[in-house]
Structure 1
Amino acid sequence: MQAFFSFARTLGLSLLLGGASLAALAGDGHDHGEAPAAPSGPAMPRFAATSDLFELVGVLDGAQLSLYLDHSADNRPVADAQLELDLGGKPLALTRVAEGEFRATLAAPPPEGEIPVTATVVAGDESDLLAATLDVHATDAHTDPAAPPWRRAWAWGAGAAAAVLALGWALRRARTATPAKAGGAA
């Protein structure tokens, strides 16, 4: 029985140390270069509408809609543009923020689903009608997909080592417990 406890102790210690050494393993693309910035959260709902003349991108942040209008040919902001926008069949009042940049404040954040967007652009003697769909979905929490696989392996190894040590402790305790004597007083 002593050999079993020695084996269990050695196995538990080796699993614990082996799991700790997994932290030294490098992940994919390990080159000591600067790590790319991880996204801080889910992407905000957006739409993009393009034509031969213009590109319009809208980004929704709650009830705030930011719009960016550029020329399709060279991605320059459209100067002195008149922009009219319908969101779900309802016209929105737009405020010019900068050249090619507009903002709108909705009465309330839109409901989940696909919302049709129609924009009329007039810039000088050029005009165009753009159409897109704003896809609004609820954000859901995800685990970090970029977490290195050694973390999961280390956790399993530590759990297995703890289980082996607990089993060894329980067996040793059971072995050293003195059995109760049967019988009465003489």
Structure 2
Amino acid sequence: MNLLNLFLIGYRSILLGAGFAVLVLSGTPSYAAPGAHGPNGEHLDAPAQAGANSGSVPSFEARSEAFELVGRLQGGELSILINRFATNEPVLNATVEVETGNLKAPAKFHADMGDYAIDDANMLKALAAPGDHPMVVTVLAGNDSDLLDGTLTVAGAVLDDHGHSHDDGHAHGPSRTVWLALALAVLAAVGWFFGRRPKAAGTSSKGDAL
């Protein structure tokens, strides 16, 4: 095996490794449900909050003696999941209202998903702006009612239900993952071209010998 073949083998290994890295980087983060419990029954809200604030989906959490919730700003709405704090039981068909700044809107209950959604255009536009947004959520479930407050932190652009970003610059350029994929495709084409050259040279030598 000559040096060129060794180089091509190493080159292709690097391409495979880089391709795997792109797949890992393009994955989406996962979040714990509100009131998720660990093996010893402890609430996992704090770790979930840290992951939510560092991920690409703006999220917030809030809790009281009666309820706990997690809200996520994605898909063109603010989606909120609510559980009872003591039992981790989902709170369904409750009356929920969300307030931020001078805006207030009722949340619609989705029976299929078990969540409450805010689709008020003015509120969503305000929440999409980068920064910290104080949130106050009123929950009325049967004979129980409570106010829960938290902070929605938006680090950058928020995608609506059409996949468009709502940052100040309205950037619509290709993502970093797309550029990486294109670069890998070019490198693969170059590797394929050089991989064929020894074979072509060998064929030419045989023709000369004849």
| TM-score normalised by the chain length of structure 1 | 0.54
Matching residue of 1:101? 115
The alpha-carbon deviation at position 67 of structure 1 amounts to: 1.6
Question: Could you say which structure has the larger radius of gyration?
Answer: 1
Structure number with the bigger relative contact order (C-alpha 8 A, sep ≥ 6) is 1
SS in 1 for 2:4: helix
Label 1:100 to 1:55 Cα distance change in 2 as closer, same or farther (>3 A).
farther
The alpha-carbon deviation at position 56 of structure 1 amounts to: 1.6
After superposition, residues 29-40 of structure 1 pair within 5 angstroms as 39-40=27-28
The alpha-carbon deviation at position 142 of structure 1 amounts to: 4.6
Quick check: 1:67 aligned with 2:80? yes
Matching residue of 2:141? 123
Deviations 1:56-114 (A, max 9, x none): 22121254111211111222122442222102331013222239532111315321211
2:65 is aligned with what amino acid? Answer: D
1:12 is aligned with what amino acid? Answer: L
Quick check: 1:14 aligned with 2:6? yes
Cα distance in 2 between the residues matched to 1:24 and 1:85: 48
Cα distance in 1 between the residues matched to 2:28 and 2:134: 28
What do you get for the CA RMSD once the two structures are aligned? Answer: 4.0
Matching residue of 1:56? 69
Count how many residue pairs are aligned between Structure 1 and Structure 2.
Answer: 135
Q: Which runs of 5+ in 2 are unaligned?
A: 18-23, 30-54, 159-173, 179-183, 198-210
2:6 is aligned with what amino acid? Answer: S
Matching residue of 1:138? 157
Q: Which runs of 5+ in 1 are unaligned?
A: 1-9, 26-35, 145-151, 166-186
Compare the two structures and name the one with the higher helix fraction: 2
Identity fraction in percent: 33
| TM-score normalised by the chain length of structure 2 | 0.49
Cα distance in 2 between the residues matched to 1:11 and 1:68: 60
1:11 is aligned with what amino acid? Answer: L
